[in-house]
């Protein structure tokens, strides 16, 4: 257990509304990641952080922004949600060499 929680666990929102997902970790890990999982695509990296206020884009970053003002929290924001952003979102941290450990996920539905 890497001490990762995600909130909310489920959310339904309407197209065009802003949405923020939160990832919280309790073990002071430097690296944190946001992925989305979609059928036929596996998990794809959205953004990652390598320290407080240090973030970078991943493979599918369009339409998403992130912030990390504290070591323990990594926020993912959809400024104006679209139906294509309906997905399951996972947060992860790096522990050990390259192993990433994942949170329980947030299921987001955009109607």
Partner 1 sequence: DQQVKQNSPSLSVQEGRISILNCDYTNSMFDYFLWYKKYPAEGPTFLISISSIKDKNEDGRFTVFLNKSAKHLSLHIVPSQPGDSAVYFCAASSQTGANNLFFGTGTRLTVIP
Nearest to 8 by CA among 29, 19, 66: 19
State in angstroms the smallest separation of the CB of 102 from partner 1.
3
Among 66, 90, 93, 108, binds partner 1 (CB under 8 A): 90
Window 2-61: residues binding partner 1 (CB under 8 A): 4, 31, 33, 35, 40-45, 48, 50, 56, 58-59
From CA 31, how far away is CA 50, in angstroms rounded? 5
Q: Which two tokens stand for residue 42?
A: 């596996």
Which among 56, 83, 82, 81 is positioned nearest to 67, based on CA atoms? 56
Binding site for partner 1 (CB under 8 A): 4, 31, 33, 35, 40-45, 48, 50, 56, 58-59, 90, 92, 94, 97-105
């Amino acid at each position: 257990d890497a001490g990762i929680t995600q909130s909310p666990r489920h959310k339904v929102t309407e197209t065009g509304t802003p949405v923020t997902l939160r990832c919280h970790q309790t073990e002071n890990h430097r690296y944190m990641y946001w992925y989305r999982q979609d059928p036929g695509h596996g998990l794809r990296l959205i953004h990652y952080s390598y320290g407080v206020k240090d973030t970078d884009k991943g493979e599918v970053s369009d339409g998403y922004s992130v912030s990390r003002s504290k070591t323990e929290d990594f926020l993912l924001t959809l400024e104006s949600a679209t139906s294509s952003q309906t997905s399951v979102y996972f947060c992860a941290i790096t522990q050990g060499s390259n192993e990433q450990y994942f949170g329980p996920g947030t299921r987001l539905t955009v109607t």
